[in-house]
Structure 1
Amino acid sequence: MVSPEDRGFTAANAARAAATACRRAGLPFEQARLVRLGENAIYALPAQNAVVRVARSVEMMDKVTTELTVSRWLIEQGYLAAAPLNELPQPVQADGRLVTFWEYVPPCATTPRLSDLAALLRELHALPDPGFPLPSLDPFPIMRRRLEHASGVEQRDVEFLFEACDLSEAEFRRVVATAPASVIHGDAHSGNLLVRGEQVLLIDFEAVAMGPSGWDLIPTAMAIDRFGLSHAEYQQFTQTYGRDITHWDGYEQLRTVQELAMTTWLMQNVQEVPHAAEFALRMQSLRKEDRQARWHAL
């Protein structure tokens, strides 16, 4: 377990877990490069053609094993997904974390487009039943877990977010219960795309679930208000996918929950200066119910 003096998820303790797991797997970690620190810590080992992914806690075992199972299934379906390194034993428990190993995709000068995301989501949502159990879409447990473990956050902010979750949950469940369910990514945005040669890959499958396809479309739709996405780019997205989710009756209700999920995710790294300022901005807009306030992607 993570010791009391080492609580929180930092680049330092994530690197220790990654180094321990790499040693057990026979991979050198000395030249590892931190790519991202968010819900997970991602380290690149280009010379070994490997990516090391560190989950925050062993409590995430179900999500991590689902991610591995889903990625393998997608590849069997011919879907363009990042692949786990099946020759290595995984997941590895190390220092209270869970570590997995994935194929390394070198940086590319080509930037994936939102239309690429739309095409991948359209194909994902059309896939057949996978033949193994997937969780039903339910972001509330992880949001509440984040709030229960909040560190460096004012109590009034934690209380507000707890209450916002309580207020939005009934409508969320009503919408989800009445919408057709398919395989959904659960965290669909352009940051989860990689370019490999002429192909665009979808990555990060720990939030894959059965739920309404609209959940995967809302982050792009709300980006017009929150992140300055142009209407022209959004139009390309909707034309490629074949649907404008803003016309759906459940859009506003599920957008509210998406914004809470984005804010509680950011809250986990509030000790860092850019994240603290952005968290304060988001909290202000949520309190004021300001749907047009501009947020910043971090």
Structure 2
Amino acid sequence: MVLSLNTAEMDNGAVAAARSVADELGLAVDRTVVVQDSNKLTLRLLPCDVLARVAPATDQVAQFEIDLAARLTDSPVAALESPHVHERDGFVVTLWTYYESRGPVAPADYAEALAQLHAGMREVDIPTPHFTDRVEAAQRLLADRDRTPELPEDDRRLLVDTLRHEIGGADEQVLHGEPHPGNLLNTAHGPLFIDLETCCRGPIEFDLAHAPKDVADHYPDVDHDRLQACRRLVLAMITTWRWDRDDQLPDGRRLAEQWLCELRS
């Protein structure tokens, strides 16, 4: 059975696990602030000012994320506070440097940070899933009407047809997987990417499809036809996730309707 962080009981357990790990490492924690609560609980631990990411031990890729971050120390990614995955009471806890965000990242700076990340990732030798694995997961979700009971059939067919489109003829490398604005912090140290658990292998246009459209204008050597195909593919994928009956994204259903309108147009 896969655990979820939906309930207050689970949240309390996750907070207790993070506090226990911090205490073992000698980090002072008088209070915790919830930064995000979705598939993981992300906490700011104070006064030590460390970021804790907590996930159920049965449903996580924490070790993959830690291993990748440790190989990207010269790339624009958030730094680790501990190089280990800590297990406590059915949860896994990872500890990261906390950064104050200074608002949106300018398109040129966004593109430069992503290009630097891609350059670093080309040097990484670590097994990663292929981006098409994510596409196939979305296709399986659409085929399971019990998990997507509220999705209208006409829209289901639109999503199915869109996800069938293949992206080929490209050089491939390790990618962030979801470098959207929510995963890029504008910090005092410059733009830094977070949430490396979605890393996969594919064309750089797949990553650019997650970024604001004007970012691609500043990224070198983009195949714009492939980018447009990737944008449509990514839009179909993220729309599909929002129709999952277990989706936890705030305002997810409104976004699903909005993105369907974009796909129809």
TM-score by length of 2: 0.78
2:204: which partner in 1?
213
Q: Does structure 1 conserve the Cα–Cα contact (< 8 Å) formed by 2:71 and 2:124?
A: yes
Q: Does structure 1 conserve the Cα–Cα contact (< 8 Å) formed by 2:102 and 2:187?
A: no
- After superposition, the C-alpha distances for 1:9-34 in whole angstroms (9 at most, x for unaligned) are 42635522422322431447662111
**Counterparts in 2 of 1:213 and 1:108: CA distance versus 1, 3 Å:** closer
| Pair 1:262-2:257 in alignment | no
Question: AA paired with 1:130?
Answer: V
In the alignment, the residues of structure 1 paired with residue 188 and residue 138 of structure 2 have an alpha-carbon distance, to the nearest angstrom, of 36
Aligned to 1:80, which of 76, 80, 100? 76
1:10: which partner in 2?
6
1:241: which partner in 2?
219
Q: Does structure 2 conserve the Cα–Cα contact (< 8 Å) formed by 1:146 and 1:264?
A: yes
In the alignment, the residues of structure 1 paired with residue 29 and residue 55 of structure 2 have an alpha-carbon distance, to the nearest angstrom, of 17
**Counterparts in 2 of 1:11 and 1:33: CA distance versus 1, 3 Å:** farther
In the alignment, the residues of structure 1 paired with residue 124 and residue 204 of structure 2 have an alpha-carbon distance, to the nearest angstrom, of 16
**Post-superposition offset of 1:129:** 3.4
**Post-superposition offset of 1:115:** 2.2
Alignment length (residue pairs) = 258
**Post-superposition offset of 1:103:** 1.3
**Post-superposition offset of 1:242:** 2.2
**Counterparts in 2 of 1:276 and 1:149: CA distance versus 1, 3 Å:** same
| Pair 1:124-2:144 in alignment | no
In the alignment, the residues of structure 1 paired with residue 248 and residue 116 of structure 2 have an alpha-carbon distance, to the nearest angstrom, of 38
Q: Does structure 2 conserve the Cα–Cα contact (< 8 Å) formed by 1:134 and 1:208?
A: yes
Question: AA paired with 1:51?
Answer: L
In the alignment, the residues of structure 2 paired with residue 261 and residue 125 of structure 1 have an alpha-carbon distance, to the nearest angstrom, of 22
| Pair 1:179-2:179 in alignment | no
Q: Secondary structure at the match of 2:197?
A: coil
Please list, as runs of the form range in 1=range in 2, the aligned pairs for 1:131-146 lying within 5 A after superposition.
131-137=125-131, 138-143=133-138
User: Which stretch of the first structure deviates more once superposed, 116-125 or 14-23?
Assistant: 14-23
| Pair 1:103-2:124 in alignment | no
Aligned to 1:71, which of 69, 72, 92? 69
In the alignment, the residues of structure 2 paired with residue 196 and residue 190 of structure 1 have an alpha-carbon distance, to the nearest angstrom, of 13
| Pair 1:113-2:106 in alignment | yes
1:199: which partner in 2?
190
In the alignment, the residues of structure 1 paired with residue 145 and residue 43 of structure 2 have an alpha-carbon distance, to the nearest angstrom, of 24
In the alignment, the residues of structure 1 paired with residue 55 and residue 152 of structure 2 have an alpha-carbon distance, to the nearest angstrom, of 23
**Counterparts in 2 of 1:162 and 1:40: CA distance versus 1, 3 Å:** farther
1:92: which partner in 2?
87
Q: Does structure 1 conserve the Cα–Cα contact (< 8 Å) formed by 2:4 and 2:39?
A: no
**Post-superposition offset of 1:206:** 0.6
In the alignment, the residues of structure 1 paired with residue 21 and residue 189 of structure 2 have an alpha-carbon distance, to the nearest angstrom, of 31
**Post-superposition offset of 1:244:** 5.0
**Post-superposition offset of 1:143:** 3.2
1:295: which partner in 2?
none
**Counterparts in 2 of 1:266 and 1:166: CA distance versus 1, 3 Å:** closer
Question: AA paired with 1:257?
Answer: L
Q: Does structure 2 conserve the Cα–Cα contact (< 8 Å) formed by 1:111 and 1:195?
A: yes
Q: Secondary structure at the match of 2:85?
A: coil
User: Is there any run of 5+ residues in structure 1 with no aligned partner, and where?
Assistant: 225-233, 292-298
**Seq. identity, %:** 21
In the alignment, the residues of structure 1 paired with residue 7 and residue 136 of structure 2 have an alpha-carbon distance, to the nearest angstrom, of 25
Instruction: Indicate the RMSD between aligned Cα atoms, in angstroms.
Output: 3.5
Structure holding more helix per residue? 1
TM-score by length of 1: 0.71
Q: Does structure 2 conserve the Cα–Cα contact (< 8 Å) formed by 1:50 and 1:104?
A: yes
**Counterparts in 2 of 1:271 and 1:55: CA distance versus 1, 3 Å:** closer
Q: Secondary structure at the match of 2:96?
A: strand
**Post-superposition offset of 1:209:** 1.6
Q: Does structure 2 conserve the Cα–Cα contact (< 8 Å) formed by 1:18 and 1:52?
A: no
In the alignment, the residues of structure 2 paired with residue 135 and residue 141 of structure 1 have an alpha-carbon distance, to the nearest angstrom, of 12
Q: Does structure 2 conserve the Cα–Cα contact (< 8 Å) formed by 1:42 and 1:54?
A: yes
| Pair 1:277-2:251 in alignment | no
In the alignment, the residues of structure 2 paired with residue 150 and residue 40 of structure 1 have an alpha-carbon distance, to the nearest angstrom, of 26
**Post-superposition offset of 1:47:** 1.4
